[in-house]
Amino acid sequence: MWGIISGAAIIAGMRICDVTLDTIRVINVVQGKKYTAGIIGFFEVLIWIFAIRFVFQHLDNIANLFGYATGFGLGNILGISIEQKIGLGFVQLNVISLHYADKIANELRKSKFGVTILPAEGGSGGISVIVVLAPRKMQQKVIKMIESIDQKAFIAVQASIPYRGFMHGARR
């Protein structure tokens, strides 16, 4: 009995490791960090090969299959949690505030975030779109600052890969 449970636990542990690495590797691929992604990918696949080898050697043990699936699910959760904590890359926030665009922009600038205000046309007339480019790990801070000024502001967040140029907020 102990061998059945320990085998499944070992497989689950290996899957947690390789899927967590996979999540972080994919983020690095999307951001164009090819060497980092390559190194992570090497270890990810090496761990996966050991895990699948163990499963195939013990196909008669159903617990191993559950360990494999459990490790996959938990690896996704752990990988996403780690990525959210370290906040790789940058985000672009597009903000529409009907009455507080200048106040939001000024507060963000005081906190050293790069802000651009663009004129736009909405259904009811002219508005401003505030564009903020910030390190991903600062995303929640930016959102809290915006919401402290305008709870009803429309905020859209998307991943951003800066190509070149000066980013004021990146020099903290």
Domain extent listing, the chain: 2-86, 90-171
Beta bridge partners of 125: 122
pLDDT per position in the chain (172 positions), as tens? 667 788 899 999 999 999 999 999 998 898 888 999 999 999 999 999 999 998 888 888 899 999 999 999 999 999 989 888 887 788 999 999 989 999 999 999 999 998 999 999 988 888 999 999 999 889 999 999 999 999 999 999 998 877 777 655 544 4
Closest CA to 95 of 36, 160, 150: 150
pLDDT at 60: 85
This prediction has a pTM of: 0.66
To the question of domain 90-171 being in CATH 3.30.70.120, the answer is yes
Which DSSP string do the residues of 11-72 spell out, in sequence order? HHHHHHHHHHHHHHHHHHHHTT-HHHHHHHHHHHHHHHHHHHHHHHHTTT-HHHHHHHHHHH
pLDDT at 172: 44
Dihedral over alpha carbons 138, 144, 149, 153 (to 10 degrees): 90
- Measured CA to CA, the distance from residue 122 to residue 4 in angstroms comes to 63
pLDDT at 168: 55
Both tokens of residue 63?
A: 């617990």
pLDDT at 89: 82
Closest CA to 83 of 12, 9, 142, 139: 139
Beta bridge partners of 111: none
